């Protein structure tokens, strides 16, 4: 996985705003990566000068610089319980990862195995049990989550947008998606319907993919969820992409007065994370949490940026509509992207200085929490260290305590980090 893939994932799966620069999230990690490279060069130079008397560093140790904002590893967290392989073995046969709570031979990753494959192998049993408990539940929402989790991928390996535009998007006509569509249509539960649309929508056009996914529509979601403006925002964004300005105006007229813009990410996260067994290891919780977040593929559409562009809001009616939407997102939004979108629009629309300053401050805090608490943002797996896994473990706990409210969880995590400095 490359950082580029992760940024694309944040944009397309989590619908991040063009006003949010994803690279800002990872600047601390880049700085530490550069430092690690310099330290590696120094170690190599010393080794050469001393004629090989200095023991060779393990691969996992060379990339051990702790990212900014990550608390120091707690005492007693022993990721090195197994005998260390010789330098030749470390290079040719295995890499020794520092995976919190994991010891013995499980620490060794085969030379041809990526860090993600290693983690997936170690957590396969626990994750399968968790998904199995969701699938066997009598609760339709749990059943729907189990089906959607078959599409989960916290690594962010999605097809490049140019490839998507050329029709290379992977098929969504799968047994799991088909069963999810059936469940959504049978229950008419807006949360399940939103989850199903997220698995079925074409990332570029916003239309439903071929096959049984064609049985879903944004319009039907709007009809079964009348006080929710989220489906109308997507209908407006689809019209904007097609150059249908009358369609945009009609949809925005429906969206603007809505009392909420809800993708049901909070409710679905709370259900999914509530099923994670107590006492799960940090690595298991990290994988479960990453899977949950990656399966939630509907949020405030990025098309809102162009619909509320500087030129568009010169029209009094459009400015009024965009202001109403931004106000509701600022007050009721539960995701980081809701907050980021509200902050960007508030600045563009000239909201009162006090309101804009509060949104900027909250956004900065939330971004700090997001930066420190995600293990999947480097190619070499250096963020899978015990400290970062414990940080992400704390975020998952906060997310569960906040009943899936990502915005509240990130605020809590960033306050904890700042208080511990």
Q: What is the pLDDT along the chain (421 residues), one digit of tens a residue?
A: 333 333 333 333 343 333 334 333 333 333 333 334 333 444 333 333 334 333 333 222 222 222 222 222 233 333 333 334 434 333 345 788 888 888 888 889 887 888 888 988 999 999 999 999 999 999 999 999 999 999 988 765 444 445 545 555 678 999 999 999 999 999 999 999 999 999 999 887 788 999 999 999 999 999 999 999 999 999 999 999 999 999 999 999 999 999 999 999 999 999 999 999 988 998 999 899 989 988 999 999 999 999 999 999 999 999 999 999 999 999 999 999 999 999 999 999 999 999 999 999 999 999 888 776 666 555 555 667 788 888 888 888 999 999 999 999 998 887 776 665 5
Numbers of helices and strands, H then E, in the chain: 21, 2
User: Rounded to an integer, what distance in angstroms lies between the CA atom of residue 417 and that of residue 69?
Assistant: 7
* Sequence-distant (≥ 6) Cβ neighbours of residue 145 within 8 angstroms: 134, 195, 268, 271, 272, 292, 295
Residue 387 lies in a domain: yes
pLDDT of residue 380: 55
- Angle in degrees, 0-180, between the axes of helices 115-135 and 140-148, rounded to the nearest 10: 160
pLDDT of residue 168: 58
User: Rounded to an integer, what distance in angstroms lies between the CA atom of residue 183 and that of residue 194?
Assistant: 12
Q: Which domain holds residue 8?
A: 3-65+86-158+171-420
Residue 70 lies in a domain: no
Residue 166 lies in a domain: no
- Nearest of 392, 265, 416 to residue 335 by alpha carbon: 265
Residue 81 lies in a domain: no
pLDDT of residue 322: 98
Residue 79 lies in a domain: no
User: Rounded to an integer, what distance in angstroms lies between the CA atom of residue 94 and that of residue 89?
Assistant: 6
Residue 143 lies in a domain: yes
pTM: predicted TM-score of the whole model, two decimal places: 0.75
pLDDT of residue 142: 98
Largest CA distance in the chain: 76
Residue 78 lies in a domain: no
pLDDT of residue 232: 98
pLDDT of residue 420: 55
Q: How many domains does the chain fold into?
A: 1
The alpha carbon of residue 212 and the mean position of all alpha carbons in its chain are separated, in whole angstroms, by: 27
pLDDT of residue 45: 39
pLDDT of residue 373: 62
Residue 132 lies in a domain: yes
């Amino acid at each position: 996985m490359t950082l580029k893939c992760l940024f694309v994932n944040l944009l397309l799966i989590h619908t991040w705003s063009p006003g949010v620069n994803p690279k800002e999230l990872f600047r601390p990690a880049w700085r530490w990566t550069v430092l690690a490279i310099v330290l590696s060069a120094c170690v190599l130079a010393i080794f050469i000068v001393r004629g090989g008397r200095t023991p060779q560093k393990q691969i996992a140790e060379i990339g051990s610089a702790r990212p900014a904002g990550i608390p120091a590893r707690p005492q007693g967290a022993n990721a090195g319980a197994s005998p260390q392989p010789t330098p030749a073995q470390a290079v040719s046969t295995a890499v020794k990862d520092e995976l919190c709570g994991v010891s013995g031979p499980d620490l060794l990753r085969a030379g041809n195995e990526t860090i993600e494959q290693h983690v997936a192998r170690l957590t396969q049993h626990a994750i399968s049990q968790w998904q199995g408990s969701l699938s066997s539940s009598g609760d339709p929402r749990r059943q729907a989550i189990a089906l959607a989790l078959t599409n989960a991928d916290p690594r962010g390996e999605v097809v490049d947008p140019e490839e998507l535009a050329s029709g290379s998007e992977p098929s969504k006509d799968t047994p799991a998606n088909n069963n999810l569509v059936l469940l959504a249509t049978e229950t008419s539960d807006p949360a399940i319907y939103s989850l199903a649309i997220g698995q079925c929508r074409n990332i570029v056009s916003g239309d439903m993919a071929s096959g049984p996914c064609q049985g879903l529509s944004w319009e039907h979601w709007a009809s079964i969820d009348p006080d929710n403006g989220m489906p109308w925002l997507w209908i407006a964004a689809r019209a904007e992409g097609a150059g249908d300005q009358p369609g945009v105006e009609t949809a925005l007229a429906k969206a603007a007065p809505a009392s909420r813009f809800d993708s049901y990410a909070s409710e679905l996260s709370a259900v999914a994370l509530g099923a994670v067994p107590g006492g799960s290891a940090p690595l298991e919780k990290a994988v479960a949490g990453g899977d949950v977040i990656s399966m939630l593929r509907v949020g405030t559409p990025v098309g809102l940026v162009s619909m509320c562009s500087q030129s568009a809001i010169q029209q009094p009616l459009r400015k009024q509509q965009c202001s109403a939407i931004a106000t509701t997102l600022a007050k009721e939004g539960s995701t980081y992207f809701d907050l980021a979108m509200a902050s960007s629009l508030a600045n563009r629309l000239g909201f009162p200085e006090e309101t804009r300053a509060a949104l900027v401050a909250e956004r900065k805090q939330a971004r700090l929490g997001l930066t420190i608490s995600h293990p999947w943002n480097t190619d070499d797996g250096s963020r899978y260290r015990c400290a970062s896994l414990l940080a992400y473990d704390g975020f998952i706990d906060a997310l569960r305590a906040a009943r899936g409210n990502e915005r509240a969880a990130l605020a809590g995590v960033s306050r904890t980090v700042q208080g511990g400095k």
